Amino acid sequence: MATHALITGSTSGIGATTARALAATGARVVITGRDRSRGTALAGEIGAVFLPSELTAPPSELRAFAARALDALDGRVDLLVNNAAVCPPVPTTALSDEDLDATLAVNVRAPHVLVAATVPGMVERGSGTVITIGSWMASEGLPFAALYSASKAAVEHLTRGWAAEFGPHGVRVAGIAPGVTRDGEGEGLAASMAAATPAGRPVTTDAIAKAVVWLASPAAEFVHGTTIAVDGGIGTTRLEWT
């Protein structure tokens, strides 16, 4: 039976590339996001279903969204990829209340609600996978985007907690922490930030998607609770000492 996959934030960037990669393996995919034109176009391209979503919505609306996704996938989600994220690149003192609420809602609350809504079916079947997309910034103290980094640290800990909670019931939970990623926006900045890494260049969305496909496969059957760095070495190495 083909994998039934739900990917948040999948109308562009890492999410869209992951949707393409999973569809290429034969998975049935639900694409989600706020951009209806891009979502509809991608769904037509890969034979997926597009469901508009607003992850800043209250939990009750997120649960209703999860129910629609389950209906679109014939009542089962085998793979949930919590990919969507908000990252306002501003100092703490400049962060608006609206951006503060949105960052916490999209990056932490929505994954929590969607796991709670979809994992019970996986537990009932005794199989399933949840993959969280974190960030190299979760373990770095940086003078910008402190809230985003903290939210991704929270996601890493949720990954560990969920693995302990659901692993004994046949549901694997693990994460991927991308490094500075090239997605068509901020190319110059990404190249500059990645220049001093062992890889020497930004991580591609294709590299992250390949990691998702592997992590969702039986080849990763003993990967529980960890977050795998696909970051070009930015989180663990320094090529220069200054």
Q: Which two tokens stand for residue 9?
A: 């934030």
How far apart CA 99 and CA 45 sit, in angstroms, is 33
Rounded to the nearest 10 degrees, the angle between the axes of helix 146-166 and helix 97-104 is 20
Region for 63 from its dihedrals, namely left if φ exceeds 0, alpha if ψ lies in -120 to 50, beta otherwise: alpha
Q: Which of 65, 148, 162, 166 is catalytic?
A: 148
How far apart CA 238 and CA 114 sit, in angstroms, is 37
DSSP-derived secondary structure for 92-151: GGG--HHHHHHHHIIIIIHHHHHHHHHHHHHHHHT-EEEEEE--GGGG---SS-HHHHHH
Q: Which two tokens stand for residue 121?
A: 């079916």
Catalytic site includes residue 148:
yes
Q: What Rg do the C-alpha atoms of the chain give, in angstroms?
A: 17
Please give the positions annotated as active site. 148
